[in-house]
Every structure is written in structure tokens, then in C-alpha cells.
Amino acid sequence: MANREGFNLDRLGQWTEEQEFKVEREQTIAYAKATNDPIAAHLEGTYAPPVFAVVPVTAIMADATMGVVPDELMMRILHGEHDFRIHRPIEPGEILTVRAKPIGIEGKDSGVVVTTLMETRSNRGDLVNEQYFIGFFRGGTFDGTVGERSPEHSFDASLRDRQPDFSAVQTFDEDQTFRYSEPAGDPMPIHLDDDFAKAMGLPGIIIHGLCTIAFTSHALLSQLCPDDPGRLKRLAVRLSKPALPKETITSRFWNTGEGTYAFETVGDEKPGKFVITDGLAEFA
């Protein structure tokens, strides 16, 4: 079929083999500190921060997502969207079992979108979280859509007609990416090597997208339930533009009823820069 050559469509809907991950208390605390998380339960190691949920699945998520695209596209991947469905917080000391499956491919004007679903279960047998990862492969071509899209979380533009219910202003540290890389298990050089990042067409080292998501998560928790972070049940975003070290971001949150908040995050590197769009959070 035109513009589908090299794509491994037979892998859609196929789970990877399961992998185990031991949750070390020191790593969850390091992750909290690396994301400037102020929540006591995270800094004390009672619970892992919500966005830490990506750490056990990072390798398997990448393998499942890149396994459906031609070899020449693999290194063109960008983190487009992420949707966390949190059944309960991860607890240090437990052993998790993770698996992933690519569920959809869609051609866009500027590249190819691959959607991957991940599941995390504990040694107790319960489902801890589900995550949808949307990988965008720059410059690829694919005709049409095959499989499923991730669940919707679009922003209602009419919300901007009223003031947000609350806002958060946060600034990334100069060494944020270096502190984040190890506990997150993400050593990609665009976050650590200025010359390499510029060679990739970036302005320099960029903040990990998941670090940015973590900042918005604890902005929400600090405002709504600092003593009970397990109330966060869903966190979904679209990563629009990368943030930079030392950049200040401002997130605006609107209460849309029944424990649901819509949000978006702007950076101050240049006017009109959106770092996160289509943000959605749900609380129990």
C-alpha cells in the first residue's frame, strides 16, 4: 500500500513480553528532588510522584513504539502527548510488572503519529496505572489511519474568556536536566549536551518533556491535595514546545467541574510560547 512500506502493522495490538521493575525508595525520592517536587509524601518516599510512573515503562514504551516504524524514522521521534490513568500511587519497595502495545498509526502533514498503551501491575496483582504515549516521528509519511487513537483531552478555548481558578509560576534550574536524567533513566543527549542539541536544530539543551509534566503535576497537587496526592487519577497533556533550563513557566488551571481541571502552560523564552497545551487533570 502506498506510503506504508516498512511499517510493521502486524505489531499493532500485540503486547510485548512483560518486564519486572523493583521500585527503590532512593530512586523515587531522587526523582521527586530532581523535579523540584514539594509534596512531603514524595520527598519522604511514602509514594512515588505520579509522573514517576513513566520510569518503569520507559524502555518497553520506546521498543513498542519504534518497533512499528521503518528504521530510518526511529531517531526522529518526539514525545507528542502523554496520558496517565492512575489507579493508585506507586509505593517504594514493590515489584511492578509492565507491558506495552502499539495500538495505532496515523499519517500527518509533517510526520507520523504512533500511539502506544502501557500497563503497570504490582506483585499484588492489581492494576496500578495505564498510560498512553503518543510518539511523533518527524518527516515520515503514512497514508491514513490504522488502529486506535488515544483518548481525547482537548482544551475548550472558551475557558480563556474567564480568569483561571488558580495559576502556578515555576522556574527550571540551570542543572535541571542533569539532575533529572539519572533517576528518570533518560540519558538522551539533547538534554545533556549543548552542542549535540544545537546540531539537532534545537536552541541548546532542552528540559525533558516528562520533567515539565512533573512540574505541572505538583503545581496541581500543591493547590488541591498536598496531603493526599493519591487523589490524582488522570493527567493528560500535549507537549507543544520544549522548555529550556532557567526558563520560567506559568500554568493556568480552570475547574471544569466534578474534580476535573483543564490547563495550559506557557514559557517566557519568547512571546506566545506554549510548552503544554490540552492539559487535563482528574481528581477523586
Q: Which residue ranges form the domains of the chain, and what is each CATH number?
A: 9-283 (3.10.129.10)
Quick one: pLDDT at residue 123? 92
Strand boundaries in 49-125, DSSP class E: 77-86, 95-108, 111-122
Quick one: pLDDT at residue 1? 44
Report how far residue 161's alpha carbon sits from residue 181's, in angstroms, rounded to the nearest whole number: 38
54 touches 131 (CB < 8 A): yes
pTM of model > 0.85 = yes
Residues of the chain with pLDDT under 70: 1-3
Report how far residue 168's alpha carbon sits from residue 28's, in angstroms, rounded to the nearest whole number: 24
Quick one: pLDDT at residue 141? 92
Give, in order, the Cα–Cα distances in Å from 93 to each of 84, 122, 217: 21, 11, 23
Residue from 204, 279, 278 nearest 243 by CA: 204
Q: What is the pLDDT of residues 44-83, one digit of tens each?
A: 999 999 999 999 999 999 999 999 999 988 878 889 999 9
